[in-house]
Amino acid sequence: MCANVIIAEDDEKQAELLRRYLEREGHAVTVVGDGLAALDAVRHGEPDLLVLDVMMPRADGLDVVRVLRAESREVPVLMLTARTTEDDLLLGLDLGADDYVTKPYSPRELMARVRTLLRRNRRGSGAAEAGPADADVLRVGTLVVDPTRHVVSVDGEAVECTPGEFRILSALAAEPDRVFTRQQLLAELHGFDRYISNRTVDVHVMNLRKKIEPAPRRPARLLTVFGVGYKLTDPAKAAARESS
């Protein structure tokens, strides 16, 4: 799996180490040393992955993610951070990052995260398989998820999702009304990883509700099943069941 990867890291030794590991696996690597250069590289390079340090000059990693998502750029982002509190880590995910590794990190662990993000991104946005163009389209009421084209719409209006949000929504839409535990949804995001908190899923769900619900504080589609997890349902069918 050869990919185009941008490393945004102002520590030259760390950047060189990452470059060597990535090139050893066959990836094409571009290294930049500040946040503004990272934005420029993504805008002009169409990368498959951005490995992004949080603490950088000119613009920090959180600002970079905020700008990229505001521009509707869906490049997967793996953040490198020395901030170890859960709130700091979840802030990056809330802004649209897909995963994070805390410093100091094992290069082997980081490369495993890189492979996971690249594999899942290729799976979500790869070429269409033979057969009808809409054969794999998932529909839950007026919510439509197209895994082949990586497109989401609600009531005919396009919805922009980060790769992490899209993976959770795809899993839920594939089995409407099934209740997924947070651990099951974490597996969709990262595989079974003991370092990732259940709150990661909660952050993605909160962001999805802002995008697919008319009233995010009173969700009708993406529901919480207290003590268990989450499910996706068709509000019209749910209302019909309640009235019958």
Q: How confident is the model at residue 196 (pLDDT cuts 50, 70, 90)?
A: low
Residue 196 three-state SS: coil
The size of the chain, in residues, is 244
- The edge-to-edge listing of strands for the beta sheet with 99-102 is 28-32, 4-8, 49-53, 77-81, 99-102
User: What is the value of pTM for the model shown?
Assistant: 0.61
**With 90 as the cut, is the pLDDT of residue 32 above it?**
yes
Q: Write the pLDDT tens digit of every residue in 111-129.
A: 888 887 887 666 555 433 4
**With 50 as the cut, is the pLDDT of residue 195 above it?**
no
Look-up of token digits 């498959």? 48
In sequence order, the 6+-apart residues with CB closer than 8 A to the CB of 73 are 42, 43
Give the pLDDT score at 33. 93
Q: Kindly report the three-state secondary structure assignment for every residue of 60-120.
A: CHHHHHHHHHHCCCCCCEEEEECCCCHHHHHHHHHHCCCEEEECCCCHHHHHHHHHHHHHH
Q: Write the pLDDT tens digit of every residue in 151-180.
A: 899 998 988 887 778 889 999 999 999 999
CA atoms of 216 and 154, how far apart (whole Å): 14
Angle at 70 between CA 217 and CA 183, to 5 degrees: 50
Give the pLDDT score at 90. 73
Per the model's pLDDT, the better-predicted residue between 193 and 185 turns out to be: 185
**Mean pLDDT estimate for the chain:** 83
Mean pLDDT on 133-162: 84
138 beta partners: 145
CA atoms of 110 and 238, how far apart (whole Å): 43
Specify the amino acid at residue 107: P
Instruction: Give percent helix, percent strand, percent coil of the chain, each to the nearest 5.
Output: 45, 20, 35
Q: Can you read off the two tokens belonging to residue 66? A: 């905020």
Mean pLDDT on 140-151: 87
Give the pLDDT score at 127. 39
Give the pLDDT score at 125. 53
Mean pLDDT on 40-53: 92
